Amino acid sequence: MVKNNNISGILYVVATPIGNLEDITFRAVKILKKVDIVAAEDTRHTRKLFSYYGIKTNCVSCYDHNEVAKIPEFIKHLKNGYDISLVSNAGTPLISDPGYKLVKEARKQDIQVIPIPGACAAIAGLSVSGFTTNSFLFLGFVSRKKTKRLKELEQLKYQKSTLIFYESPKRIVSFLMDILAVMDNRPAVLAREITKMHEEYINYNLSDIINILNLRKSVKGECTLFVQGYNSSRAVISDQDLDKKIFKALKNTNVKTSVLSRDFSTKYHLSKKVIYDKIIKLQRDIEDS
């Protein structure tokens, strides 16, 4: 490449579909066609999109493990006047995807960086979650190491904003169990395969979502999890009324003692041990009657 018009090129950060290939803007397609280079997380994946829209732009790889090595090459092209589009496999680049280091260096070198907005699983799912949207915290993928993950969740326990996580379908159940252990039984929405053929939204308390997933042979598809923020308002109940409610629940449901304990503990903000002891005592009363 020889192009040099004494004006630096532009780095476009282009959002692409998260599932449905039609979820892309006219402007994004136009930009992808007109730039000189497309830096893609996975060129094989991006070429499927290119084929669908007849895009013939030169596509080169830029992913987690080669991004640093590729930056000097991309910056050189940009300074020589070439325009580059940065795309990820799905959604908006840099949102739990590669590209941050390239954008940071481009900014440092006074190269113009322009976003071409579009699909993002976190925002799409949040808009239909039913949780507050005026304050939310996007966490992306938390640590795979259990000890570190639990510490991260502990720091979020009293966060009042809606919490948004990405997680692998293989780890989603264990992750839900960790959240339940740390934050108790909050309302949550598990969004799976957003915009795809098997799109699904499971809207229950954490324990219910876990039970639903455990009934399946496996969980498939990309998962985005929305967890209601901490609610400091407490439901007040007398000891006598609490006994009546637990007694009724024991008579009318087959829910496990541990799940029942969590549910009542969360609703009335009482110690799980206090609830558990009451359940055991009332179970004995039922058996003796």
pLDDT for 174 equals: 96
Q: Which residue has the tokens 């699909």?
A: 119
Say if residue 102 is in the same domain as residue 27: yes
Same-domain pairing of 263 and 277? yes
* 106, 189: one domain: no
Q: How far apart are CA 183 and CA 186, in angstroms?
A: 7
pLDDT at 5: 67
Q: Are residues 163 and 244 in the same domain?
A: no
- Establish if 232 belongs to a structural domain: no
Q: Report d(CA 149, CA 153) in Å as an integer.
A: 6
Q: What is the pLDDT of residue 242?
A: 83
Low-confidence ranges of the chain (pLDDT < 50): none
Same-domain check for residues 262 and 177: no
> Looking at the domain assignment, is residue 2 inside a domain?
no
Among residues 77, 94, 118, the one where a domain terminates is 118
pLDDT in tens, 118-166: 999 999 999 999 999 999 999 999 999 999 999 999 999 999 999 999 9
Residue 91 is given by DSSP the state B
Same domain membership, residue 205 and residue 143: yes
Q: Which domain holds residue 156?
A: 122-227
Domain termination residue (choose one: 91, 118, 145):
118
199 Cβ contact partners less than 8 Å away, ≥ 6 residues apart: 19, 192, 193
Pick the last residue of a domain from 200, 227, 254. 227
pTM, entire model = 0.79
Nearest to 107, CA basis, from 80, 75, 77: 75
Q: Is residue 4 part of a domain?
A: no
Are residues 92 and 59 part of one domain? yes
Is residue 248, in this structure, part of any structural domain at all? yes
Contacts 24+ apart (CB under 8 A), 173-176: 173/210, 173/213, 173/214, 173/219, 175/142, 175/149, 175/225, 176/206, 176/209, 176/210, 176/213, 176/225
Q: Buried b / exposed e across 13-42, counting CB within 10 Å, b at 16+?
A: bbbbbbbeeebbeeebbebbeebbbbbbbb
181 & 198 share domain: yes
| CATH at residue 41 | 3.40.1010.10
Residues 129 and 223 in one domain: yes
Query: Under a CB-based contact definition with an 8 Å cutoff, are residues 49 and 16 in contact?
Result: yes
- Say what the pLDDT of residue 277 is: 86
Q: What is the pLDDT, as a whole number, of residue 275?
A: 85
Q: What is the pLDDT of residue 23?
A: 98
Distance of CA 53 to the CA centre of its chain: 28
Clarify whether residues 91 and 106 are in a common domain.
yes
Domain check: are 132 and 209 in the same one? yes
Whether residues 105 and 126 share a domain: the answer is no
Domain for residue 86, yes or no?
yes
CATH number at residue 148: 3.30.950.10
- Token digits of residue 126: 């949040």
Domain assignment present for residue 32? The answer is yes
98 found inside a domain: yes
Using one digit for the tens of pLDDT, what is the confidence trace for 91-111?
Answer: 999 999 999 999 999 999 999
**Scanning the structure block, which residue is given the tokens 């795809």?**
196
Report the number of distinct structural domains present in the chain.
3
Let me know if residue 24 belongs to a domain. Answer: yes
